[in-house]
Structure 1
């Protein structure tokens, strides 16, 4: 058992918390994990467990990767209610046209930092979630190694607590453009998808790839494909379903991208 102390001030974000171990005499830093509820035009859609950081990016990225939105322009605004004692609520307001489409397949899901299929009700629902096949960009030699080498230094929050995953958007040559962190690897990717969508709307170049600090799961591959991302690289191992999904969707999947090694599986 630990004793929670006030959140550490970190650029105004409460992503980290000081705790005192029962058998220790000094504080440690841990990542904050809390329920984050998402509503769309007043209707509850999902509750995820995540880190309260970059929440507007998370709302947009989650909506895009789950197929709630077809593009970022369908999200009108996000209201963040952090006054509740039981968690945070992200109230998304979307266009009326998109709301009608969402009502046709309203989904209730309970998220977690582990694995899952976001509340799908049947195997048929799972196999029906198939985005268009992609055409990945060609990466020059050394791009993956450059991204893998830069990722640890870019994980500023993880450096303080050791408990957060990171997803980085990289230029084709492997240069890191921006990074998002979360206690859940899927949440980190959703945040990155949201940040990338905003960058594209602002005129930034869309070509590049994702580098992640985690293993490669089906959910990560599928989210990348839903966002139109053609290359996914992970520092750890892939699962069999991740490989099969990447092959089916045309996602270029790399795993074990670390220590001068990179293995392509799709």
Structure 2
């Protein structure tokens, strides 16, 4: 699995930086000077056809994956083949992500460009029209059945793929696992939505079948995380934290198996429990 900086062109800020620290113990008050790696957070301006669409605060790693996933989950493209090219350009402490797309829907989506910067924690910043809220299409076919042991296996393997988080303890991760729990892709970012968009982009570029696996995220399952997964076509979302009420509503409407509070010893099902195969040990 590639390191997160491997695909970045010269001039793009690194995904981590080094900061001086002082650590003080509660027990004895002893102070220890040191340093540690911290996650980078830079403005990433997304342009479609040369026209600015929005600015997201993101970690400058796996940005081509982000371009593909963001384009799909924002509804600018319906398939990866509609993206002709992606250019990653440094811009004085920021990054421009120039995406060239084809398709009749481009002009309509350029007309509703985001009105403000998207903050790290926000999946809807800059959407100023309720009609523009993301809505995935309804379910097609049956959702896959997933073994409980597969979820357990994926949770156990997730940490191994989180290189940035191992160094910084400050970023979210999103993983794609096969139905038997093998983790194939992990993407990370300071923003949980960005991490999922990067993962979706990686899956699109690799030609992954959305029905052949499931997504695991190291964050809460807010409604837009459910929408993004469903837009990709994934029907199973596992989250480390709990879902919101709206996320559960959308999971039911889209028939996405929704698991939350996923720990090494248990997982809580909020929709689709009948599709989780709990085989005895």
Per the TM superposition, whether the score is higher than 0.5 is: yes
Structure 1 gap segments, 5+ residues each: 1-8
Map of 2:164 onto structure 1: 157
Mapping for residues 38-187 of structure 1, pairs under 5 Å: 38-82=46-90, 84-103=91-110, 105-126=112-133, 129-134=135-140, 135-187=142-194
- Residue 275 of structure 2: aligned partner: none
**Secondary structure in structure 2 of the residue aligned to 1:25:** strand
SS of equivalent to 1:157: helix
- Conserved? CA contact 2:136–2:228, under 8 Å: no
Aligned to 2:27: none
CA distance in structure 1 between the aligned counterparts of 2:267 and 2:22, rounded to whole angstroms = 41
Determine the structure 1 residue equivalent to 2:251: 246
1:129 shift after superposition: 2.6
* Residue pair 2:7, 2:62 contacting (<8 A) in 1 also: no
Deviation readout 1:69-113 (Å, 9 max, x if unpaired) = 11100000011111x214100000011534244345444342112
Q: Which runs of 5+ in 2 are unaligned?
A: 9-13, 24-31, 272-281
Report the TM-score, using the length of structure 2 for normalisation. 0.84
Say whether 1:229 aligns with 2:234.
yes
1:21/1:38 CA distance change after superposition, 3 Å: same
**Aligned mates of 2:57, 2:34 — CA distance in 1:** 28
Q: CA deviation at 1:237?
A: 1.1
Matched, 1:210 2:226: no
1:259 is matched with 264
RMSD in angstroms over aligned alpha carbons?
2.1
- Secondary structure of 2:187's counterpart equals strand
* Count of matched residue positions in the alignment of Structure 1 and Structure 2: 253
Q: How much has 1:262 moved relative to structure 2?
A: 0.8
Contact 1:66 1:226 in 2 (8 A): no
| Cα deviation 1:198-229 (Å, max 9, x = unaligned) | 111xxx54411001111111111111111111
C-alpha distance after superposition, 1:15-57 (max 9, x if no partner) = 1100113786322110000100000001110100010000000
Give the TM-score, by structure 1 length: 0.88
Residue 19 (1) aligns with residue 19 (2): yes
Distance, in Å, in 2 between the alignment partners of 1:11 and 1:96 is: 31
